[in-house]
């Protein structure tokens, strides 16, 4: 009887780990660097920013984000956004969604972005509002 209980407990606790899937990062990762063009709020709780920069194979990128704090944490929250890109005669758009948290003077962002070419990018990086910069590591999800 004790063996059965031990087996059931082991299966209960180990099964979720056995079924978990790892994120598979692509091999074509790149660094994206942006300058914050504007930042504003109309209500003191939601913030909007726009930025422009270069993002590897996408070329020139224009970003817009809206940051919210729906859990009222004060130092972290969520965001949504939109991107428009041009690289020569190639154009793409993307929806951006993720979470952020403040770490000292900078904000860390983690995002999953859906691009109009069908690629899903995993994105992580830092935003420095004083320096007016955003730097991201981007990798396509396989």
Convert the pLDDT of each residue in 2-16 to its tens digit. 555 555 545 555 555
Q: pTM score, two decimals?
A: 0.80
The answer to whether 116 touches 96, Cβ cutoff 8 Å, is no
Tell me how far apart the alpha carbons of residues 8 and 1 are, in angstroms, rounded to a whole number: 11
Mean pLDDT, the chain, rounded, equals 88
- Quick check: helix, strand or coil at residue 8? helix
Q: 48-54 long-range CB contacts below 8 Å, 24 or more apart?
A: 51/134, 53/134
Tell me how far apart the alpha carbons of residues 8 and 4 are, in angstroms, rounded to a whole number: 6
Window from 4-13, 35-44, 61-70, 114-123 with minimum mean pLDDT: 4-13
Classified by CATH at the fold level, domain 24-140 comes out as AOC barrel-like (2.40.350)
List the domain boundaries for the chain.
24-140
């Amino acid at each position: 009887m004790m063996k059965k209980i031990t087996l059931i407990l082991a299966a209960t606790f180990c099964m979720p780990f056995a079924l978990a899937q790892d994120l598979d990062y692509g091999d074509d990762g790149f660094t994206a660097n942006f300058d914050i063009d504007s930042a504003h709020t109309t209500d003191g709780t939601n913030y909007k920013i726009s930025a422009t920069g270069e993002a590897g194979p996408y070329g020139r990128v224009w970003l817009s984000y809206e940051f919210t704090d729906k859990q009222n944490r004060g130092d972290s929250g969520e965001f949504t956004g939109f991107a428009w890109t041009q690289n020569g005669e190639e154009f793409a758009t993307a929806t951006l969604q993720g979470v952020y948290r403040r770490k000292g003077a900078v904000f860390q962002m983690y995002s999953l972005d859906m691009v109009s070419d069908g690629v899903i990018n995993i994105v992580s990086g830092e935003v420095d509002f004083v320096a007016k910069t955003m730097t991201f590591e981007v990798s396509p999800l396989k």
